[in-house]
Structure 1
Amino acid sequence: MPTFTHDGLDFAYLDEGEGEPILLIHGFASTKEINWVGPGWVSTLTGAGRRVIALDNRGHGASSKLYDAAAYDPDIMAGDALALLDHLELRRVDVMGYSMGGRIASCLALRAPERVRSLILGGIGIHLVEGAGLPVTVAEALLAPSLEEVTDPMGRTFRAFAEQTGSDRRALAACIYGSRRTLSREEVGRIRVPTLIAVGTRDDVAGSPHPLVALVPGARALDIPGRDHMRAVGDKVFKEAVLAFLAEPH
């Protein structure tokens, strides 16, 4: 597994396929494998003639772990993604982020619009502006002595997922507290790259994509039918829409 060093941290990443590059940024408590390899995104995109790059965010997967909440601001994590592009000497890429990865991708598009050909936000709608990410009860669940002591339903889901994947629960709890910053309406109004915003119709985490589309100039919405936050990521309708979007002459 290739790695690079940035900000004193080691980051694991994958780089597969040939063609126009696309950078994938995973969601909270996930990894490049769980978010992108397992659901078939890497095979779908490389099969469509794309070069796929994906990293493990700080605190996740095989990348370095930190326990200071301030280190997980989405803009800081956008800097990690930019450092990977610099490491690979890529000047301009398509960018797709899911859930927390969508927050990071949005910060990347604001921070370095010249590096972003197009932006795909999955699993994040108006809560990018009006919500503060996952509730702190998830962090509390991650730090609880055992799963049996967690009563919050969403907290139990993420605690069980973290245990299943062998994640560093302390690092994830710090990430919950640190990545809760929203973007303002003025900030999302400055996203000037072609943008697709895709959310499952049963997603109770992301917020609707349509109010966010109204704030981002030229953005469009995709309702992923019948999917909740966890199941929308690998949906066939989502993949087909992304491939069509990427094929457009942005």
Structure 2
Amino acid sequence: MASFLSDGVQIAYDDITPPGGADRTIVLIHGFASNRVEGWKRTGWYAAFERRRTRVIALDQRGHGESAKLYEPQAYERERLAADVLNLMDELGVERADMFGYSMGTRTALELAVAQPSRLTHLILGGVGGKLLEKAPDVAGEPMADAMLAEDPSTISQPMLRSFRQFADEQGEDLKALAAVTRVRNMPFNHDALRDMPVPTLVVAGAGDEGAGDPEALARIFPHGHGKTIPGCDHFSAIPHALTKAAVFDFVDGLMDEDEFPPFE
């Protein structure tokens, strides 16, 4: 396992250059309760990028996989997660790269893109949509944290929460650390900052991903945004899907027509 210290926190990562060298580099940022192996390698992304002569850099976000487990919510503030990615790029001497975040990883990627747009060539936001721009609904208690810490997962009544707990158990994740991740209180993204973000951006989500909303509704806020809906997929099944890969590759290859969205309000 390769790892480095990001502000004193051990971060595990893969850095894979295909035989014969790479023509471009992409940084992959997994979602909540996942890790670099489950989120990207097992789903075929490592092999797909290797075939396209792309250097793959994928990290386990803090609290996940083989990276350090921390139990205070403030350790998982979005700025700290983005700093881990930027520090890894600096550690590996990567000045600019494509970046692909999925689910929680989109928020990390978007935070970095807003703060340091010159470090990105393309930005891909997966598993999110228009609901990212909406005010988070008021929820009583801490249902996701409670789901992570439930002694008996069969007692979790909400299907979405039960799915995430099952997924975390399957990966052998640290449930206490994941509960801390869910308790962090990040500020909403500044809409003006997103409107001014110069990096070409693809937003892609499954048609059945009710938690994401419409990808085009999010894509239209970006000056160079594209939205893509993957039919027949939910939040979990969209990431390994061949149509998701096709959309990502068309985007980074410049083969997508420029979307013409009405002005965002």
TM-score (norm 1): 0.95
Letter in 2 for 1:7: D
User: Does the 8 Å contact 1:129/1:184 carry over to 2?
Assistant: no
Q: Which residue of 1 aligns with 2:12?
A: 12
The answer to whether residue 235 in structure 2 is matched with residue 229 in structure 1 is: yes
User: Does the 8 Å contact 1:15/1:53 carry over to 2?
Assistant: yes
Could you list the structure 1 runs, at least 4 aligned residues long, displaced by more than 6 angstroms after superposition. Answer: none
Rounded to whole Å, the distance in 2 between the matches of 1:79 and 1:132 is 24
Letter in 2 for 1:32: R
How far residue 182 of structure 1 moved from its aligned partner, in angstroms, is 2.6
Q: Which moved more, 1:136-145 or 1:228-237?
A: 136-145
Rounded to whole Å, the distance in 1 between the matches of 2:102 and 2:185 is 14
Q: Any unmatched runs of 5+ in structure 2? A: 256-265
Count, aligned residues: 249
Q: Which residue of 2 aligns with 1:51?
A: 55
RMSD: 1.8
Q: Which has the larger radius of gyration?
A: 2
How far residue 132 of structure 1 moved from its aligned partner, in angstroms, is 4.3
Rounded to whole Å, the distance in 2 between the matches of 1:226 and 1:180 is 32
Letter in 1 for 2:6: H
Structure 1 residues 171, 152: CA separation in 2 closer, same or farther (over 3 Å shift)? same
The answer to whether residue 109 in structure 2 is matched with residue 93 in structure 1 is: no
Q: Which residue of 2 aligns with 1:26?
A: 30
Per-residue CA deviation, residues 23-53 of structure 1 (Å, 9 max, x unaligned), is 0000000000111001100100111110000
Q: Which residue of 1 aligns with 2:259?
A: none
Q: Of 150, 164, 168, which residue of structure 1 is paired with 2:170?
A: 164
User: Does the 8 Å contact 1:25/1:55 carry over to 2?
Assistant: yes
Q: Which residue of 1 aligns with 2:84?
A: 80
Q: Of 108, 111, 114, which residue of structure 1 is paired with 2:115?
A: 111
Matches within 5 A, 1:165-244: 165-178=171-184, 181-244=187-250
Q: Which residue of 1 aligns with 2:258?
A: none
Q: Which residue of 1 aligns with 2:71?
A: 67
User: Does the 8 Å contact 1:117/1:194 carry over to 2?
Assistant: yes
SS of aligned partner of 1:23:
strand
Per-residue CA deviation, residues 93-136 of structure 1 (Å, 9 max, x unaligned), is 00000011011110010111110011001101122221549x74
Letter in 1 for 2:152: S
Q: Any unmatched runs of 5+ in structure 1? A: none
Rounded to whole Å, the distance in 1 between the matches of 2:233 and 2:97 is 28
TM-score (norm 2): 0.89
Rounded to whole Å, the distance in 2 between the matches of 1:131 and 1:237 is 30
Q: Which residue of 2 aligns with 1:125?
A: 129
Q: Which moved more, 1:138-147 or 1:123-132?
A: 123-132
Letter in 1 for 2:188: T
SS of aligned partner of 1:142:
helix
How many percent identity over aligned positions?
A: 40
